[in-house]
Amino acid sequence: MTTNDITTTTPSARAAGTWRLGDRTVNRIGFGAMRLTGMPWDEKPRDRDTAIAVLRRAVELGVNHIDTAAFYFLPTRSANELISTGLYPYGDDVVIATKVGPVREGSGGLAFAPYARPDELRGQVEENLRQLGVDHLDLVNLRWGSGMGKEAGSLADHVSALTELREAGLLAHIGVSNVDAGQLTEAMGITQVAAVQNRYGLTERGDDDLVALTGKHGIAFVPFFSVGAAVPGAVPGGAVMTGESEVAAVAAAHDVTPAQVRLAWTLHRGEHVLAIPGTGDLAHLEQNIAAGALRLTDDELARLDAVTPPA
């Protein structure tokens, strides 16, 4: 590729600019580890050596925000284990964010068992510590939402439990995931919230209010599944792609891929918006990072903003 925005040499993740996660500064293009192992519906797991190479290449290209979870695993692969094998000892500027709350079945299937109770969060935090080989976690996101049973307790109880673990020195910062504006406000009434991680993208616009609210309070907004799924159901819970013609036109103007345009649009939503595209493929990794250097014009942004999300 040769354009004014992206050259034949993959730009650094620093080209996307920076934002804060708690007291740490990270480049706005990060890396999501969910796909490192392969997905449960794939025919076979990702090649282990390739996954490790992807992680190392991401850091070489300036990625210093890596999102993971102990429940990112297949029967023969674990994202946390791949991260610790490929990157430990971690660079001083590398921030690793993880998630707690859901309980995955041991077979590696996608379904979650009932969520952890507040008193069970310490065990989940300690499991992440062991797998990543660290004494404390930079950022722990409480994954909330669908699947919660009343027996699991309230969001306030869970956030309070994480604040106790922070006071015990097991983690530095707390975030929330899969929440609405009211739940974020509830969490902010208990502790300082460093990040909100929700499903959001060009064709998944239900959280526009949260983007504005987090920006108002200087909280990092970290969307997942922001590229969407080309085929309905290909990514359970992911957005279906619409606006293909609009995205394709913008992509052609910059000689980039439609996925890169979607990532760039997400970053244009606010300087506090971070991206964590995930992949187990080196070529896709470099395309994702290059998207952070893509600058869309006002006319292009208006054209993309007008794309109607799927019903």
- Measure the CA–CA gap between 177 and 281, rounded to whole angstroms: 26
Asked if 118 and 158 touch (Cβ cutoff 8 Å), the reply is: yes
Reduced to 3 states (helix: H, G, I; strand: E, B; else coil), residue 173 is strand
| Euclidean distance between CA atoms 67 and 34, whole angstroms | 8
Q: Considering all CA atoms of the chain, what is the largest pairwise distance in Å, rounded to the nearest integer?
A: 56
Residue type for position 177: S
271 DSSP 8-state letter: T
- The H or E element spanning position 7 is none
Strands 73-74 and 77-78: antiparallel
Question: Could you list the active site residues?
Answer: 72
What are the C-alpha distances in Å from 249 to residues 103, 246, 265?
A: 42, 5, 14
| Rounded CA Rg of the chain | 18
